[in-house]
Amino acid sequence: EEYDYMAVLEARMSRDMLEKLLRIRDPELHRWIADVIRVTEPAMVYLITSEEDFEYVRKAALRNREELPTRYPRHTVHFDGPRDIARDRKNTRILLPGGEKIPFINTYDRDKGLAEIRELLRGIMRGREMFIGFYCFGPKRSPFTLHAVQITDSAYVAHNENILYRLCYDEFVEKAPNLFYARFIHSAGERGENGWSKNIDKRRIYVDLHDYTVYSVNTQYGGNTIGLKKLMFRLCIYKGYLEGWLCEHMFIVGVRGPGGRLTYFTGAFPAGCGKTSTAFISDTIVGDDLAIIKPVNGVPHGVNPEMGMFGIIDGVNPRDDPVLYKLLTDPSNEIIFSNVLLTDDGEVWWNGKEGEPRPGLNYAGRWWPGKKDENGREVPPSHPNARFTISLRSLPNLDPRVDDPMGVPISAMIFGGRDPDTWVPVEEAFDWVHGIITKAAALESEKTAAILEKAGVRELNPFAILDFLPISIGKFIQLHLDFAEKVEKLPRIFSVNYFLRDEQGRYIAEKVDKRVWLKWMELRVHGDVDAVRTPTGLIPVYQDLVKLFEEHLGKDYPESRYEKEFMLRVPQHLAKIERVWKVYEQIPDTPKVLFDVLRKQKE
Ligand code: SPV
Ligand code: MN
């Protein structure tokens, strides 16, 4: 529809803000912002273009009561509300023209979806301030990096993005109108008296691949709302698929070996399966959640598109996670806590924190020890999916190459999930194809609190990425098989399993044992240790583990434990192959080699 879009911008924006916007010489961008303003009707508009704007956003979050103050000026607390505590699989949909369907992916007719979202957005920002931020998804001036514009009426969301991503207004100004960028529109919708989004039944997260635009309404939980996090991730996977590179749900870490050499690993784990804790137990951290991987001179290189962590805080304790614990209790770090307990004396408490929880506020309202919900179940003081937002710049073990526009060379990829009874604690694949099929494509995990569904149920979660795939699993697997043609040196592939249990149901390994598995993988990458060849892969030689446990953890590694952990569980493996096969049978574009490899494994 024709209208004077400059008039709309002039009416809602101060001169100062409008000037900032017009410095980006991209009429299409101006027109789009005017469109969003016309539909959502914000009272005013604030552009986030430099770090000087961060304090304004932080104060706005406190003023709006989206965040609450604590005893420490740089620590704030946000509550999403009891029904908005995690990613909403059901209402997160990939919009496809003509109502195209993809097995195991939540798709929806694009025209219908856009019409629905337009209705939901109508007047939704009335009386509120709209924030517009310009960010990079990756290091600045890097061939890996994508760009994004975030529009939101939530100062909490904007505050998160200011911590989690690099501001990139300057690149927009420089490169417009020849800059590709993704677009995010978010509104928390109507908020109740405790600040929670009221219209949860109208919560929608719609991903429009065609326009590289994502809409998110009537929700606040970060995984549903922080545009550059899991919403951008879906667009990034799609773009990578079209262009032949990888966008992964993986950390990037450095592990030191003999002589101080540093070897880079990526690792894919579903949320709540030890991903962030593995990152912290490594020697350096590049990233803890996402990776963009492309070949550079024949070697796969990876960048972390983020500059901060939105991590699970549940269970973080001084014994198992000393570095992270110190970061989270240091008043000098800027931190947003979400869905923890905020005690009446202004302290933050989460499950794992020292001391006892005292009365205060939590994700479900007022909390006191022993509080029960309407079903008579005790309300935990902090939620299992409670989170922290912190800048990577606060980390003592940040990798020096985190801002390298060419990324770091990736020597190996790790895949792991919550598996009580099948996989050994660490195992190397025979080769790339074997690893992509039996480790990545066959990754299973028990569901965790990071999604709004019943936890504990085992499900296939290929590459730990299923929740975020905008294309079929078959195509995503093929993309990885084809990647082999693009590089001269393929990363090794490993699986890990931190969740193996004994006959009594107790975890066999301790949390810190991860460090030994990492060190063993580092030695394998360089050919410094032999391995035992089993039908499912290559496992450590007992004596090597004895040495590594002694050297890195100062503890014994009894042979009886080795036998328990590294025995090949044949019935469980056969059952797993059966389960995995049954899923892929339903996916028409599954590469044929997947069935070949599984059949061979079974034999
Ligand atoms: C995950 O759930 O994988 C996360 C957090 O990293 S969220 O932003 O919710 O996706
Ligand atoms: Mn994640």
**Are 153 and 216 within 8 A, CB to CB?**
no
pLDDT in tens, 563-603: 999 999 999 999 999 999 999 999 999 999 999 999 999 99
CA dihedral 561, 281, 287, 94 (to 10 degrees): 40
- 247: annotated active-site residue: no
Spell out the residues 6+ positions from residue 167 whose beta carbon is closer than 8 angstroms to its own: 48, 49, 50, 51, 133, 134, 135, 136
Which ipTM score applies to this complex?
0.97
pLDDT of residue 448: 80
Spell out the residues 6+ positions from residue 502 whose beta carbon is closer than 8 angstroms to its own: 508, 564
Spell out the residues 6+ positions from residue 2 whose beta carbon is closer than 8 angstroms to its own: none
Question: Is the Cβ atom of 222 under 6 angstroms away from ligand 1?
Answer: yes
Q: How many C-beta atoms surround the C-beta of residue 475 within 10 A?
A: 15
State the chain's maximal CA–CA distance in angstroms: 77
pLDDT at 481 over 90: yes
End-to-end CA distance of the chain: 63
Closest CA to 273 of 450, 48, 423: 450
pTM for this prediction: 0.98
Pocket test for ligand 1, best of 214, 230, 304, 443 (most atoms within 8 A of CB): 230
Nearest CA to ligand 1 atom 7: 223
Q: Give the mean model confidence (pLDDT) for residues 48-76.
A: 98
Q: What percent of the chain has pLDDT over 90?
A: 97
* Rg for the chain, CA atoms, rounded: 24
Q: What percent of the chain has pLDDT over 70?
A: 100
CA 311 – ligand 1 centroid, Å: 8
The secondary structure of 480-534 as a DSSP string is HHHHHHH-SSPPEEEEE-S--B-TTS-BSS-GGGHHHHHHHHHHHHTT-S-EEEE
pLDDT of residue 249: 98
Q: Give the mean model confidence (pLDDT) for residues 269-297.
A: 96
Question: Is the Cβ atom of 450 under 6 angstroms away from ligand 1?
Answer: yes
pLDDT of residue 161: 98
Q: Give the mean model confidence (pLDDT) for residues 327-333.
A: 98
pLDDT of residue 272: 86
pLDDT in tens, 457-467: 899 999 999 99
**Are 146 and 208 within 8 A, CB to CB?**
no
pLDDT at 243 over 90: yes
Question: Is the Cβ atom of 230 under 6 angstroms away from ligand 1?
Answer: yes
Tokens of 214: 């994502």
Ligand 1: atom nearest CA of 226 is 8
pLDDT in tens, 20-56: 999 999 999 999 999 999 999 999 999 999 999 999 9
pLDDT in tens, 427-441: 999 999 999 999 999
Nearest CA to ligand 1 atom 2: 271
Give the pLDDT band (50/70/90) at residue 452.
confident
Closest CA to 248 of 443, 396, 428: 443
CA 230 – ligand 1 centroid, Å: 7
Q: Give the mean model confidence (pLDDT) for residues 229-254.
A: 98
Nearest CA to ligand 1 atom 3: 271
Q: Give the mean model confidence (pLDDT) for residues 59-85.
A: 98
pLDDT in tens, 381-439: 999 999 999 999 999 999 999 999 999 999 999 999 999 999 999 999 999 999 999 99
Nearest CA to ligand 1 atom 1: 271
- pLDDT mean across residues, the chain: 97
pLDDT of residue 4: 97
pLDDT at 1 over 80: no
pLDDT of residue 450: 78
Question: Is the Cβ atom of 519 under 6 angstroms away from ligand 1?
Answer: no
Question: Which amino acid belongs to residue 178?
Answer: N
pLDDT of residue 271: 87
**Are 417 and 498 within 8 A, CB to CB?**
no
Q: Give the mean model confidence (pLDDT) for residues 72-87.
A: 97
pLDDT of residue 549: 98
pLDDT of residue 454: 81
Tell me how many degrees the CA angle 176-181-186 measures, rounded to the nearest 5: 125
Question: Is the Cβ atom of 308 under 6 angstroms away from ligand 1?
Answer: no
Helices (H), 532-585: 542-553, 559-566, 570-585
Give the pLDDT band (50/70/90) at residue 183.
very high
Question: Is the Cβ atom of 561 under 6 angstroms away from ligand 1?
Answer: no
Ligand 1: atom nearest CA of 387 is 5
**Are 471 and 102 within 8 A, CB to CB?**
yes
pLDDT of residue 447: 85
Nearest CA to ligand 1 atom 10: 223
Q: How many C-beta atoms surround the C-beta of residue 582 within 10 A?
A: 10
Q: How far apart are CA 427 and CA 496, in angstroms?
A: 7
Question: Is the Cβ atom of 447 under 6 angstroms away from ligand 1?
Answer: no
